[in-house]
Each structure stands twice: as C-alpha cells, then as structure tokens.
Structure 1
Amino acid sequence: MKNILIACFLGFALISCNSENKAEVDLMVFNAEVYTVDENFNTAEAFVIKDGKFVEVGNADELQEKYNSAEKLDAGGKSVFPGFIDGHAHFYGLGLQQQRVDLSGTKSFEEVVQRIVDFQNKRDVPFITGRGWDQNDWERKEFPNKDTLDELFPDTPIALTRIDGHALLANQAALDKAGITTETSFNGGDIEQKNGKLTGIIVDNPMQLIAEAQPEPSTKERVNALLDAQRLSFKYGLTTVVDAGIDKEIIQLMDSLHKDESLKIRLYAMISNTKENLDHYLDKDPIKTERLHVRSVKFYGDGALGSRGAALKEEYSDRAGHFGALLSPVEDFKATAERVANSRFQLNTHAIGDSANYMVLETYDKLLANDEDRRWRVEHAQVIDEEDLKYFSKNIIPSVQPTHATSDMYWAEDRLGDKRIQGAYAYKKLLDQAGIIALGTDFPVEEVSPFLTFYAAVARQDTNNFPQEGFMKEQALSREETLKGMTIWAAYANFEEEEKGSIEAGKFADFIILDKDIMKVEQSEIPGIKVLETYVNGEQVY
C-alpha cells in the first residue's frame, strides 16, 4: 500500500512539473488542414495563439506537449487558411449601398424602375440613390434615359449609378438640383445629349455635380455603413480590406471605431486624390496601427470599359471615332505622381484602357527608376498593350479583380476586337512578368464573395460553367497562385507581409475555417464554399 501511495505521489508531481514547464497560450487550434501560405507553402495540423498572434505552427501532439492553452478548438478536420485580404474594394461604399436601392442583377430597365418604386414606397426618402444596373445584361444593350423616371418621380431627385461606378442615370429633378443643363461644361467624361436634350446619362467626372447635390450621410448613417460592411466582410472570411479611395473624414471615423473596438476588421485605406486629402497627409508619415494603415493615394486614370470610358490607344471596335478618355490631364497626373514620389506614400492608379495603362506605367517607371521598394500599384491593369507588360515588377504591381473578366467576357471583345482582347484580363501574363499579383473583388462593383474571385481566377467561367472551356483559359491562375494573391501577395502590396498574409509565428492571428477545402474540391464547387468561422487577433468575429 505504501509503495502505491509513493507511486501516485510521484506521478502527480511529474504531471505538475510538466504542466509548470509548459508555456501558457490563449488558444490552440488542432485537428485541422492548415494551409500556412508560408515560403514553402507548407501545411500543418495545429497552431497556438497568444496575445493576438501566432506563436507556433506544427504537429498537434508536439504543441500539446509544449503549451497549456486557455482554450482549445477542434477544427474537425476542416481546412484553415490565413484570413483573406481583399486587395481592392470599396468598403465604405459597400456599407452605404446597404442603405440604397440595390439594382444589381436587373435584367431590364423596367425591373430597375420597379425596384425604385418598391424602395420608395417603403423608405420615402427625399433623394433616391441606387447602384448596380448594367445595360449589357439587358436585351437592349443601350444606356437608358430619364423619361420614365421623370413621369413617375417629377419632384423627387433620383441618381442611379451604373455597376462600375463610372456612369449614372439622373432624372430631371436631380439634374435641376445639380444645376446641370445642356450648356454645362466639363472635362473628362460626358453629359449625354440626344437631339439637343439631356438623356440623364452622365459619365465619370461630371458625376461629381450630382454627388454634391445629394444630402450628406449623417454620422449615424456613416457608422452603420462601416459596421454593415464589416459584417458582410467577416461573413466571407475577409479579415483585411483595401478601401480604394476615401476621404480623411471617413478614415478618421474608421480610426475612432477601431479605438472603441466596434470596428475590428483591418483596413488599408487609399486616400482619394483631392487637394484637401493630399495636403493633410502627404507631408506627414503614413499612419499605422494594428487595424488601420494609411499610406497610399488613389488616382483615377480613366473610366470603365463597360461605359466606354476606358482610355484606349485606338478607337473602340463597337463605336467608331470613340477612344474613351483620361479623367485628368496627363500633366496633372504626372505632377501628382511626382508629389507622391517625394513623400513616403504609395501611388495606386486606376487604369483600365491600354492608353491609360501606358501613361501610368511609363510615369511610374521613370519616377521609380532609382527607388526599388515603393510598390506602386496599377489598379485593374485591365487592357495592356503587349509591349507595355515589361514595366510590371515587384515595384510596379498589378492589382486585379478576376471577376471583372467573367463579368465582362460576354461583350469585352465587342469593345476591343479580337486582337486587342488578347492583352485584356491577362492575369497569367501579368504574374509571369511581375512575379506577384494582388487580387481583390472591387465590391460593390462585383459581389463581396472572395470565393467568386478564386473561381474566376482559376476557372475563368461564370457560375453556370460558361464558357465550357473557360474565357481565355491560358490566362487562368493556379489555385496556389490564386490563394497567394488573396493572402501573402496582397499583404506585400500593402507593405504588410511581415505581419499578415500567412499563418506563421509572430504574425497576427487572422484565420478562417471553411466548410470545404478550396484547394481540393471540384472546381465547380468553389463558388458555393462557406466560411464556418472567422478570427481576427485570435478572436472569433464570425
């Protein structure tokens, strides 16, 4: 009996000793298929987290020998990935869209009108705004006009933005409120007229006149917009979002919501190219907290291909004599680029057409010739002349949105012709040249789901598996390349690869658990994958 008691005592002492020698951590995740996205693209089965960061990644048994964890999470054999990074989106814009008429997916102008009527019957707002219509999805693939809206809403201003954000339809009440007439002057874009009368279609720069006529959102509406956008982002496994062009007031609101912890998502903010914004930020150091990073300027080079605003070297194949337009004079862009080059900020320029891309790339190349780590970005890089591919590198980064290819593929060749289309949506060529590519959604232009981004990049098909062989399938990315573009390469494009983008010791514990393994499931199943859980700093946020 005495020997048994001694043995028990020694056993308990040994357990106690071992426990005391273990390091304390906050969370251990095990029984998982962990895609670390580290340098060797290793997989693991477990990791531990302390104070919001990954401590160690590896074998579950070994980690349990080394660590005492306050909490343990059995992943049930599911796949775990670094939190997705949306490399180009409109976070605040997505939130605002939740308070407006949603016109996405409409198949006719009649359906657009019905949604407006239904919305106004429910909300009764003094100025109706909405977004998401696309005339290319309608049987009659032409811009609508304002006549029906004038009849139904003679006294209520209406402004309906096209899905790409580069054209809108306004009724007469909105035009009157904005002071727009057939004599209104403008640069860059169009105020469409037919037979000497306004049609209500406004493209690119003059849209600002309508924006200025709209009532400003209240502080409560702005806060709700940011929180709504966060909710949708976490649902889809996005833990960092790049907001491509916002003003300092919204950036300051983001910062205040981060501080009171109601906003937990990480945001990389591109400041909109206005004199007020540039004067406020460029003479200072970039802003960097754990959740907010402000170190880039967003410049709009041209418009969009869908509204024929993209600036092309040769005329549009489906509109003789029309070349699109730059949204600012070349000298203004170059002056802004030089000012940014003399600061610590990054320049990220929207460029769709091959003419706009050439202007941007040549300017970047000259200004960055002796500065190898500025990581300036070309946002969209959509139509590239073959001879201009040479400019891309890890210092001049292509930032693209794969769902643009599958949204535009039905009509893009009509706009560009069979030769020029070969340099459009050429993601594999861009990756081969640059060695890196950042991927995003451009929501709310496209849907929020990064699984549609992944699917479009890999399959080059829509969700009906069209076209069967894939749209320009030679430009598809592999699954590994696509995952990197949504994690570590997107982090690199934000100067954040040392703190996020992979599951590695020392990095922020941002990760997601999926219901299916996106690296292994049948290609057709990718769009339907669901996020089971989303974590930021090791905290479950969805």
Structure 2
Amino acid sequence: MKKTLLYLFAFSILFSCNPKEKVDAIVINANVYTVNSNFDKVTSFAVKDGTFVAVGSNEEIQEKYMASNIIDAKNKPIYPGFIDAHCHFYGLGLQQQKVDLVGTKSYDEVLQRLVSFQKEKNTNYITGRGWDQNDWEIKEFPTKEKLDSIFPDTPVAIRRIDGHAMLVNQAAIDLAGITSDSKIEGGEFLNKDGELTGVLIDNAMNFINVPKPSKTAQIQALKDAEKTCFDLGLTTVDDAGLNKEVIELIDSLQQAGDLKMRVYAMISNNQKNLDYYLNKGIIKTDRLHVRSVKVYADGALGSRGAALKDEYADKKGHFGALVNSYDNLQELAKRIAASNYQMNTHAIGDSANYVMLKTYHKVLKNKKDRRWRIEHAQIVDANDFDLFKNVLPSIQPTHATSDMYWAEDRVGSERIKGAYAYNDLLQQYGKVALGTDFPVESVNPLYTFYAATIRKDLKGYPANGYQTENALSREDALKGMTIWNAYSNFEENEKGSIEVGKVADFIMLDKDIMTIDGKEIPTTKVLATFVNGEKVK
C-alpha cells in the first residue's frame, strides 16, 4: 500500500509540473524598451528560431522557458535593432576603396590626400568623396588648375560630400567629351570667364563614367559596410538607390549566409530598373525587401542645387532646379502609382517639396496606405506643411546640425524657420522615418538620436540647441529609429519592436539613451548587436 501511494505521489508531481519549453536564448536582468504600442518596459525575453517567443519579467520567462544560452544583461538597456531609413549602404562600402575627403579643412588638404592615395594605390582613375567648401576658410567651389598640374594625365573625379557636385580635372573632362559649350537640363557645368572650372552640378555629373568596380570589389564593399553598421547597432538599412545587379548580388550573398544585414532596397530611377521591377512586382525574402523607387526631384542646398520658390539669399537670380523635368516627374508618379511600389523622392528645396507633395496627392487620390515618402523634406514653405498629412517625411537629423552653420546664408532668416522642422513634420503625419544619409553623414545612429533630441553637433554647438522648437522627444526619436522606420518599409508587423512573433533583432548599449544627460548620448557604445537572435557584434 505504501509503495502504491509513493508511485501515485511521484506520478502526480510529475504531471502537475509543466515542463519548461526549450528555446535558443533567454535574456534576463535587462532594461528592455519594447517600443510596443504602450511603450512598455520589461526585464526579460526568450528567443527561438530567430523570433521573440515571449516577453515579460525575469520570473515569467524563466518559469516557462529554458535555454543553454542565458544572457545576463546586468541591467544594461536593450532596444529593438536600429533601422536607418535613408542611407547608401553599398556606397559606404565602395567609399572604403576610394579617397576619403570627409573633414578636409581646405582645398590644399584635399590635394594632399589625393597625392597620398595615389602614391599608395597608383590607380588609373582617381575617385573619392567628402569635400565640402563650406568647411573651408574660403567658402567657394574649388577650380581644377591645381588638379591639372598634379595629375595632368590621370583622370580625377571627386564628389562633394552630398554627392550633388563633383570636381574633375582636364583629363576626366577630355575623356568625357565635355566642352565649355556643354549643356544639360537639371545640371550645370560651372564656367569662369568662358572656361570650365571643373565643377559639375547634379545631372552634369552623368557625363563622367568612372570605372565600374569588379564583382570582388562589390562583394567586399557590401561586407565592409555590414561590419560598420553592425558595430553601430544597425540591423536594417534602407539603401536609397540601387541597380538590379547590386540588388541581385545582395540577395545571393544573403541566401548563401555571407551577408546578414537586412536591406530595404529602393531601386534607382532608370528605365532598366523600372521595366524589370514594376513588372515583376514586390520582392520579399527574410532579409531583402524590394518595393520602392528612389527618385530625385532636385539637388542639394550646399551646392545650391535645391529648387527654391524664391531666389537664393546668397546668389541673386539663382533658384536651383529640378533635376527631372516637371512632366517627367508627373509621368513617373503615375506609373509607380499604377504598381504596388512606393515612391521615395529626394526633395530639398521648398519648390521641389511643393511640386512632389502636390504630385503625390494627385496620383494617389483614392489609393489607400501607399506610404509614399519625401526624402529629406529639408526646406518647406510654411503654407505647405499640411500637405504632409498623407505623405511620410523621411528625414536625417544630422543634416540640421551639419548645415546650421551656413543654411541661413542660403535661404535667409524667414525661410530658415521652415527648415529641418522635424517636430512640425511629425505633427502633420504622426510619424517620421529617421536616417542618416550615410556616407554623407556619419553612420552612427546615436548621432541621429542626439541631433534629433538635443539639436547640437558633436562639438556641443550651439549651447542652447539649434531651433529647439523642432526637437523630437526621446520617445519619438526612438520610435523614428525603430517601429516607425519598420512602418515606412511596410514591415511593422515583423520588426521594429520587441514583441512576440517579431524577428529577434535587438541591441544592447552601455548607457540608457532615454535617461542619461544629453551630452552623453554621442559617446554611448553598442555592446552587442543581434539579428534573428544571432550575435553579429
């Protein structure tokens, strides 16, 4: 009898205890910002097969789940993986193979870097990017005479930091067949006393055909860019302008497991891409999403290519220009609207923004949930903000803190009030997508968060912040780097927050950017980056 009772007791114990479910990893003792609809915070979550399977307290998770991989966060902050809504991922990688001219303080320093690069690489065609005449003591476009004397036979083509102007030498000009009489719509060949200066603006740069990188160089560029992004907490990047061959290369590397970064690819606006992708339809894998077209409406403010309603304050009679004709933009918008693709248009000046906002409203009439984006939305007329009610602003906060030294010179004291107006844009649409535009700006998304919320540059200037009435709250900035960016990519149901059923993309920082003193944000470090639950940094 006693033996029978003992068996019954053991049997009841065995079946009264629910066995724990085995998962791949459990994170405990964390300060987790879920960025769910309630902006809840938790201390633990479980990951299985690359997704979050449970989110809650340490006790709740450990009572129900078991794993051989227990990650003790030691109260460090954890956030959803950061998403950059506008960048040039492939371009960042290629830049590692070119002359880096970012941060040069004079034209002479640009020339010194070119000479040093050529001594090391000895290339047949020198390319680079990053110069900005607004950072020089003499804030004027350079001219090619010194380039010609140093490199009389080797073509040189170096882009301005924003990518909307290029300095070339005579060897590159001759190779391209450019003359002082050359003209192009939506661009400019700068002349002085009837002679080419070597500076090409916007569409004029299309004459320059630099050598195409080899496939090996392309693969290395993608891998180099991925490492940089993972190290800084990015788990998804929106590459603003890719051609078919690069998109297919990204896909093949992802499928082989050689590239783990998630990529939202905007196809570059050209006939080949449009004919192929708009007919093929949306392409979606677990790491690649192709469903948008990157279009240029105008140029950049720094090179005075942005299309303004009124003349530039520092160049009388000059208004900038549309880089695509008005009629072409109308036809293109109609064609994209007839597909399932999103239209994401670069618009800097108030005229370009107005043209594209009105165009969007016209072609999207009665079409629901298209989430078409204006990229940059940099200078907006006060009368036009309400046109963003149904158009998603995709903005880059570090542009404000980079441009603030000279932007008012370009547009004057009145128009500057509608410039970099991120909170005003947020109030219209209810969401903003945040990015960097790297390599135009730094890759670091924590600089984005700092510029959006504190409105200062890395030198702490200005002391009271730049146009702080348009600063974003920290909660809105975090949403703008996670769930709102996922929304802008039609991916809010699969990523952008730490919730059950979503992909396990998350990062751990050494400091809590939601609570620390603002000046500490730029020095915050990424301790770990996870994609699909796999540690990639």
TM superposition score normalised by structure 2: 0.97
Counterpart pick for 2:394 among 399, 415, 430:
399
Partner letter of residue 323 of structure 1? F
Aligned to 2:431, the other structure's residue is in SS state coil
Matches of 2:268 and 2:469, distance apart in 1: 35
Q: Which residue of 1 aligns with 2:64?
A: 66
Q: Which residue of 2 aligns with 1:419?
A: 414
- How far off its partner does 1:183 sit? 1.9
Write out aligned runs for 1:25-424 (5 A): 25-210=23-208, 212=209, 214-393=210-389, 395-424=390-419
Matches of 1:62 and 1:33, distance apart in 2: 15
Q: In 2, are the aligned partners of 1:19 and 1:68 still within 8 Å (CA)?
A: no
- How far off its partner does 1:10 sit? 7.1
Aligned to 1:206, the other structure's residue is in SS state helix
| Residues 196-239 of structure 1, C-alpha deviations (whole Å, 9 max, x = no match) | 111100000010111x2x11100000000110110000011000
Counterpart pick for 1:453 among 432, 448, 451:
448
Q: In 2, are the aligned partners of 1:376 and 1:396 still within 8 Å (CA)?
A: yes
Q: In 2, are the aligned partners of 1:52 and 1:508 still within 8 Å (CA)?
A: yes
Matches of 2:16 and 2:319, distance apart in 1: 73
Matches of 1:353 and 1:459, distance apart in 2: 24
| Residues 372-392 of structure 1, C-alpha deviations (whole Å, 9 max, x = no match) | 200000000000011111111
Matches of 1:22 and 1:379, distance apart in 2: 48
| Residues 481-535 of structure 1, C-alpha deviations (whole Å, 9 max, x = no match) | 0000000001100000000000000000000000111111110010111100000
Aligned to 1:358, the other structure's residue is in SS state helix
Matches of 1:363 and 1:152, distance apart in 2: 47
Matches of 2:526 and 2:498, distance apart in 1: 17
Structure 1 gap ranges (5+): none
Write out aligned runs for 1:478-489 (5 A): 478-489=473-484
- How far off its partner does 1:189 sit? 1.4
Matches of 1:396 and 1:356, distance apart in 2: 14
Partner letter of residue 313 of structure 1? K
Aligned to 1:85, the other structure's residue is in SS state strand
Q: Judging changes above 3 Å, is the alpha-carbon distance between structure 1 residues 383 and 18 closer, same or farther for their aligned structure 2 residues? A: farther
Q: Which residue of 2 aligns with 1:441?
A: 436
Matches of 2:161 and 2:11, distance apart in 1: 67
Matches of 2:18 and 2:179, distance apart in 1: 79
Tell me whether 69-78 or 262-271 shows the greater mean CA deviation. Answer: 69-78
Q: In 2, are the aligned partners of 1:265 and 1:291 still within 8 Å (CA)?
A: yes
Matches of 1:26 and 1:40, distance apart in 2: 27
Matches of 2:293 and 2:170, distance apart in 1: 35
Matches of 2:247 and 2:383, distance apart in 1: 38
Partner letter of residue 313 of structure 2? S
Aligned to 1:95, the other structure's residue is in SS state helix
Percentage identity across paired residues of the two chains? 59
Structure 2 gap ranges (5+): none
Q: In 2, are the aligned partners of 1:381 and 1:398 still within 8 Å (CA)?
A: yes
Aligned to 1:21, the other structure's residue is in SS state coil
Aligned to 1:161, the other structure's residue is in SS state strand
- Paired residue total: 534
- How far off its partner does 1:473 sit? 0.7
Q: Judging changes above 3 Å, is the alpha-carbon distance between structure 1 residues 454 and 11 closer, same or farther for their aligned structure 2 residues? A: farther
Matches of 2:229 and 2:455, distance apart in 1: 23
Matches of 1:160 and 1:409, distance apart in 2: 24
Q: In 2, are the aligned partners of 1:431 and 1:437 still within 8 Å (CA)?
A: yes
Q: In 2, are the aligned partners of 1:512 and 1:532 still within 8 Å (CA)?
A: yes
- How far off its partner does 1:308 sit? 0.2
- How far off its partner does 1:19 sit? 7.7
Aligned to 2:23, the other structure's residue is in SS state strand
Q: Which residue of 2 aligns with 1:466?
A: 461
| Residues 156-188 of structure 1, C-alpha deviations (whole Å, 9 max, x = no match) | 111110000000100111111111111222111
Matches of 1:386 and 1:322, distance apart in 2: 21
Aligned to 1:282, the other structure's residue is in SS state helix
Partner letter of residue 296 of structure 1? S
| Residues 340-382 of structure 1, C-alpha deviations (whole Å, 9 max, x = no match) | 0000100000000000000000010111220120000000000
Q: Judging changes above 3 Å, is the alpha-carbon distance between structure 1 residues 305 and 17 closer, same or farther for their aligned structure 2 residues? A: same
Matches of 1:35 and 1:244, distance apart in 2: 28
| Residues 114-144 of structure 1, C-alpha deviations (whole Å, 9 max, x = no match) | 1111111111111010100000000000000
Matches of 2:302 and 2:114, distance apart in 1: 23
Matches of 1:257 and 1:50, distance apart in 2: 24
- How far off its partner does 1:69 sit? 1.4
Q: In 2, are the aligned partners of 1:33 and 1:45 still within 8 Å (CA)?
A: yes
- How far off its partner does 1:12 sit? 11
Cα RMSD after superposing both structures:
1.6
Matches of 2:438 and 2:340, distance apart in 1: 28
Aligned to 2:69, the other structure's residue is in SS state strand
Matches of 1:510 and 1:18, distance apart in 2: 35
Partner letter of residue 356 of structure 1? A
- How far off its partner does 1:56 sit? 0.9
Q: Is residue 2:432 matched to residue 1:431?
A: no
Q: Which residue of 2 aligns with 1:498?
A: 493
Please list every run of at least 4 consecutive aligned residues from structure 1 whose deviation after the TM superposition is greater than 3 angstroms. 9-14, 16-20
Partner letter of residue 177 of structure 1? L
| Residues 301-323 of structure 1, C-alpha deviations (whole Å, 9 max, x = no match) | 00000000000000000000000
Partner letter of residue 161 of structure 1? R
Matches of 1:328 and 1:508, distance apart in 2: 39
Matches of 1:386 and 1:184, distance apart in 2: 37
